[in-house]
Amino acid sequence: MKTDWGRVSMEGSITDTACAIDPGSLEQTIDMAILPIGQLAQNGMGNEHPFEIRLLDCRLADADPAKSNSQHFAVSFDGAADGSHFAVYGEAEGIAMQIIDDKGNLSTPGIQSPDINIIPADMKLNYALRLVGNGKMLRAGTYHSSVRFKLDYY
């Protein structure tokens, strides 16, 4: 009886499912309330209005940010720019919008944020919006803006 030898080669990868963004975080409308034009003229900015991006079903590689295999998140906000801020439209003039993370970092339209270590128990990213002067003459009136966000994690 003759014996032949063969070879079986295989390759593949093991992946993990992607984080999901909580449906309540996908389409948010933030009420910026009424801001007296005098406050904006005096302080150069309005009050912060918090919002969050909550994540679901994330399996973090390692929740310890001191370890090199810890999972990091980076967020990009994209919208019409007014200098390094986000543009607003409407009757109001002389204003732009800032987005600030919970560490005080300002977001620039289209620029990815510094890496963020997320707290596994919360699974949320905290931000705030505020109006700022853009150096032009202030004019009272209504305004609106729309900003998209993109979440990268690795």
CATH (domain of 47): 2.60.40.1090
CA-based torsion, 114, 115, 120, 124: positive or negative: positive
Its domain, for residue 121, covers 21-153
**DSSP secondary structure code for residue 92 in this structure:** -
Highest-confidence segment of 56-60, 120-124, 131-135: 131-135
Q: Is residue 128 part of a domain?
A: yes
Where do the H-state alpha helices sit in the chain? 23-26, 37-43
Tokens, residue 74: 């980076």
pLDDT (0 to 100) of residue 9: 72
Examine the pLDDT at 71 and tell me if it is beyond 70: no
Taking the CB of residue 146, how many other CB atoms lie within 10 A of it? 11
Question: Pick the residue with more confidence: 44 or 13?
Answer: 44
- Report the C-alpha gap between 33 and 46 in whole angstroms: 10
Number of domains present in the structure of the chain: 1
Q: Is residue 52 part of a domain?
A: yes
Q: What is the pTM of this model?
A: 0.81
**DSSP secondary structure code for residue 106 in this structure:** B
Examine the pLDDT at 17 and tell me if it is beyond 60: yes
Q: What is the pLDDT of residues 109-123, one digit of tens each?
A: 999 998 887 777 778
Q: Is residue 66 part of a domain?
A: yes
